Chain A
Amino acid sequence: MKSYLSPVVALLGSAALLAVTACSAGAGSSSGSGSPGATQSLAIGLVAEPASLDFTTTDGAAIPQALLGNVYNGLVKQDESGKIVPDLAKSWTLSPDRKTYTFTLVDNAKFSNGQAFTADDAVFSIDRVKTSWTTSLKAAMDVVQSAKAVSPTQLQVTLAKPSNDWLFRMTTRIGAMFSKTGVDKLATEPVGTGPYTFGSWKRGDSIVLQRNDDYWGTKPHFGQVTLKYFKDPTALNNALLTGTINVIGTVQAPEALSQFTSNDKYQVIEGTTNGEVLLSFNNSRPVLKDIRVRQAIRAAIDHKALLDTCWAGRGKLIGSMVPPTDPWYEDLTSAAPYDLPKAKSLLQAAGATGKTLRLRLPTLPYATSCGQVVKSQLEQAGLKVQIDQLEFPAAWLTAVLKNADYDMSIIAHVEPRDLGAVFNAKYYTRYDDPTLQQALAAADAGDEATQVAEMKKAAKRLSDQAAADWLFLLPNLMVADKDLKGLPQNAITESLDLSTLSR
């Protein structure tokens, strides 16, 4: 009997041993977060991990959130109040025909590969958006006719037509400045001029950034910042409660905030974002083509009650597609007040009472919870609502966004200044409105005052036409150690700026 038993046991035993040695051998090769050393370090808990580090070919907000403003600089950036301010460009002028921008660049910026930053790199970066980027955002660079270096610190960019939007887009990821000699391994080894350099990436866990000691601007306080990624909101909260992280970058479940507000070890920050949570309509559907139906839906929704129920009252009611940090913001919440009798009579007049609308929701926390409230409020006004959950992103993107196979949906549009992108005939809103397009074109071509006036017109038009219903603006909710300073109140840029943080 023994003669049979032992070989098998030996086999199993050696297999186990192999497994163990393989484990420890492999473990050595995957380097960890490293020791903080003499410098202070900080850990921030975030939700979405980047799929790659290359935002020129991979979409998603997580990559610029980690790298833009930290590893990469742009020529210009947006401050917390929404203003466009200098970054690698110290100053700039605009020609009278509003087509030629001349930028004066800082002369002491260096890439992390040792190369100096010059106007040539800026030209290279701008041209490269058109030639090598594959994400849809590259379209914002189409308006550029030519970019040329007048001197190492002078850059001239000529547009095909006047466009206010172009300079704004330069504050986003498409404005990031790359090194001519540092774009071979963007997905794994990003090279930029920023206050931090890329340290390491433990996939599925965290990204570590190291202070750039050669940084041309004010050097950041923290020597090392770890961005740690959590899929589960409870795990994120626990990580702060147990001291694994110092900041919750985005609170995922506002109803769980009380455990932090009642504890004086923590501070809670609440501000605004660019994330308009839309009850979007498919404006090409027969029922929703009728403006009376769309207006009825807006009147049937009690926005204050909805926000209290589904997002713990955190967030801002906006009434149109403009967040308060844009220069043309106006409070349009009174344009469509809650008015149930009006909603009922509008539906009756349109002959839509009793009609069934399909509300196709992505599997996102705010959409799932607010969808139920929307359903019950619309049913009080006399519509029937059929809720249909679609897995996000893949299933929702295909069914709703690509095929527009829906009547209504709920999704936050987090892109900055995205009014024109969201409301046009080609997008999933199928909103075809020449009046709106005229206002948008005039806004883009005119001077600052015209831009503000025309954008106000556009936002008003959308609200009056009830092209969608704006449920609320997502709040910027952060929780952090009490003594941490410099956290942004408003999260309106694509980047999570780490350089301003200190203790």
Chain B
Amino acid sequence: MIAELTQQAAFPKHLLDFQGWNRKHIEDLFETAKLMQEVLSRPVKKVPALTGFTVATVFFENSTRTRLSFELAARRMSADVLSFSAATSSLAKGESYKDTLLTLDAMGIDAYVIRSDAAGMPHQAARWLGKPIINAGDGWRAHPTQALLDAFSLLERLGSLEGKKIAIVGDILHSRVARSGAELLPMLGAEVWLCGPATLLPGGLPNVTMTTHLRQALQDADAVMALRLQRERMDKGLLPSEPEYVAGYQITQERLGWAKPGALLLHPGPMNRDVELEGTLAEAAQSLIERQVANGQAVRMAVLYHLLVGRKGA
């Protein structure tokens, strides 16, 4: 397995977003993710690929699900894992997060997984530390491993994304999932539509179509992704109310009928039940929601593998 992997294309040093990444990198990464799926299907789900490496998960914003997914991914490849969490608010009180990162770095970390409520924090870390940085979500900006696991899950079912229509629905303005999807999915040939209330749509992202009309977005779609809605947006006056959102943008059985028959349904989680999706749609046969979580681990293993080992021959 290892021998064939080192033949593959030279990878960018970091996964901050998809700047510097191309379709070949993504396809190579997915080949590795398939091998990792095989590892995860064994009774003993562990390989020695990252023995001797130490991966730090540095979460300035809480997210137990994402952190566990990364840590398990690292452990299943026999890496040592150092876990650091601190609210950015406490850092703002005076302790510099540059100092925090440099302190960690002195402990001999080989790669960092960084999550933050602020756009650009992983980029700053990349400037300060000479190690691979994986962005586990920065503010509204990017969540590249989420986009990768979404694309991987779609490919499993659709075979190819070439010419496929994918609609992402909800609060696009504040969604790092939407931004990373809008960056990655067109790279793989998909046609991406972003749809939501006008106050939650940004003024223009490249390579995607933007609409406030749900029917237009869903029409003949091969897949529909609903985004999590945050109540905070209502307090800020961007949405009049939750029922108003549900009336306009909830994905219902009926509205899903506008899409292609059997269109796939995704949600990056965590879900507000009966807000973004109607009733039991999450458990429907066409739902990829559980598959997304399972694939998250295989994809993250592949990312760690490529950034730590795969680029050595480059």
A binds B: no
Q: Which B residues lie at the A interface, using CB under 8 A?
A: none
